[in-house]
Amino acid sequence: MLIGPNKSGKSSFLDALQFICHAITLGDIAKPLDDRGGFASVFWRGKQFTKLRESDFIEFEMSGEVEREGSSPFGFAYGLSFSGDLSGRVFIKQEVLSATVDDTRRELIRIENGAGVARRLDGTQLFANPGSRTKPALSYDIPGWEAGIVKQFVVGWHFFNFIPQLAKTMSNTSAAVGSLDIHGSNLSSWLHTLQSNFPDEFQRIAKVAADAFPEIESLGTLVTQAGTTFLTLREKDLQSAVPIFQASDGELKFLMLVSLLYSPFGVGFICIEEPENHLHPRLLSMLVELANQRRQELQGRASQVIVATHSPYLVDLLDPEDIVLVYKQGGETVCGRPSSADELRKLLRETETTLGRLWFSGSLGQV
């Protein structure tokens, strides 16, 4: 969980991850850069910055572990750096992907200034000197290439910044959808997909909603003659169902988050901006409890989740190891862990305070 003041860089951190996801998904670094104002706009401008130089570049590095069907998982390390100029031209400077299997590290990609090779895990060369300077080698689709497992992991990342009002006002198709969109505006389509094709998951969501909001008797989706659909909520003491456009923002935000927990589609990595918005603190506690239960249920198939929050109450519900402090230092965004988790637990026991109160008081660091 990312915690820190406004303008500390929490959203920028998530956007950097989203950039990598889009670049690999599209097979192009230029389009996601253009969407953010171009290279010159994205490039960090500290006090020493005077003008953009040819030697300036942006670099991403990440590492993790991915599952292989029928085989043991392997660790990976991926790096991508690229340069650009004021005219808008961009090009990949370096791209490296290595895989570690049984403590043995092998390079699957090494490209520098447009020249290099891509290999299989057994060392077989696949291609050399890719033709495009803006297309990451990781984005290529080559049957049987182990790098494809890393690609599928990255392109499967999901990012959410839910806006309940959009779910009320946007027209939703009755055609099946594979996920909520970034703002949750297709909530009706998503729940209709679950109700039609995954009734068990839909009923779990409906039961949780009834537990959270005792006045709710049932959830459902209606399909119009125009081929659209909308969510309805049947409540006690009301003669007719409540359509989505009359539902409360908190109800819809809660349904969005719960539907992620019980999605039948496996997602390896999820980022969520400020899940606490529109929600009563009691619902936050319920969501964390449900998330912990779901993680135990899914075991190794559970998603990794990064959340950015301003809620001390939500911080109270987590362990010290879950917290990442985000703050500005000399104009740069810095991410770090709180001091020793054991010391924090001892402090929490002895003072009868909470993690959220410690953060709010500034005792966790420069936050």
Q: What is the pLDDT of residues 167-214, one digit of tens each?
A: 999 999 999 999 999 999 999 999 999 999 999 999 999 999 999 999
At residue 87 the predicted structure's pLDDT band, cuts being 50, 70 and 90, is confident
What is the residue whose two structure tokens read 């060392």?
123
Residue-number span of the structural domain to which 42 is assigned: 2-155
CA distances to 37, 80, 81 from 86, rounded to whole Å, are 11, 21, 17
pLDDT of 47 above 70: no
User: What token pair was written down for 367?
Assistant: 């936050």
pLDDT of residue 367: 45
59 found inside a domain: yes
Which of 149, 130, 140 is CA-nearest to residue 27?
140
Domain boundary at 155, 171, 200, which? 155
At residue 216 the predicted structure's pLDDT band, cuts being 50, 70 and 90, is very high
If asked whether residues 201 and 216 sit together in one domain, one would say yes
Domain boundary at 155, 172, 189, which? 155
pLDDT of 49 above 80: no
Arithmetic mean of pLDDT over the chain: 92
Q: Which residues pair with 235 in a beta bridge?
A: 216
If asked whether residues 144 and 17 sit together in one domain, one would say yes
At residue 339 the predicted structure's pLDDT band, cuts being 50, 70 and 90, is low
If asked whether residues 172 and 65 sit together in one domain, one would say no
pLDDT of 366 above 60: no
pLDDT of 345 above 80: no
Q: Report pTM.
A: 0.91
Considering its fold, how many domains does the chain have in total? Answer: 2
For the chain, what's the residue count?
Answer: 367
91-96 CB contacts, 8 Å cutoff, 24+ apart: 91/133, 91/134, 92/29, 92/133, 92/134, 92/135, 92/136, 93/57, 95/136, 95/137, 95/138
338 found inside a domain: no
Q: Do the beta carbons of residue 308 and residue 274 sit within 8 Å?
A: yes
At residue 36 the predicted structure's pLDDT band, cuts being 50, 70 and 90, is very high
Q: Do the beta carbons of residue 29 and residue 84 sit within 8 Å?
A: no
301 found inside a domain: no
If asked whether residues 223 and 145 sit together in one domain, one would say no
Q: How many CA atoms lie within 13 A of 4 on its CB side?
A: 27
Alpha carbons 220 and 223: distance in angstroms, whole number: 10
Model pLDDT for residues 94-107, shown as the tens digit of each residue? 999 999 998 899 99
112 found inside a domain: yes
If asked whether residues 6 and 145 sit together in one domain, one would say yes
Task: Check residues 216 and 268 and name the one with the higher pLDDT.
Answer: 216
User: What token pair was written down for 323?
Assistant: 């917290």
272 found inside a domain: no
- The percentage of residues in the chain with a pLDDT greater than 90, rounded to a whole number, is 75
151 found inside a domain: yes
What is the residue whose two structure tokens read 């009834």?
210
Phi (first) and psi of residue 242, to 5 degrees: -95, 120
If asked whether residues 85 and 141 sit together in one domain, one would say yes
Domain boundary at 98, 120, 155, which? 155
Alpha carbons 231 and 63: distance in angstroms, whole number: 40
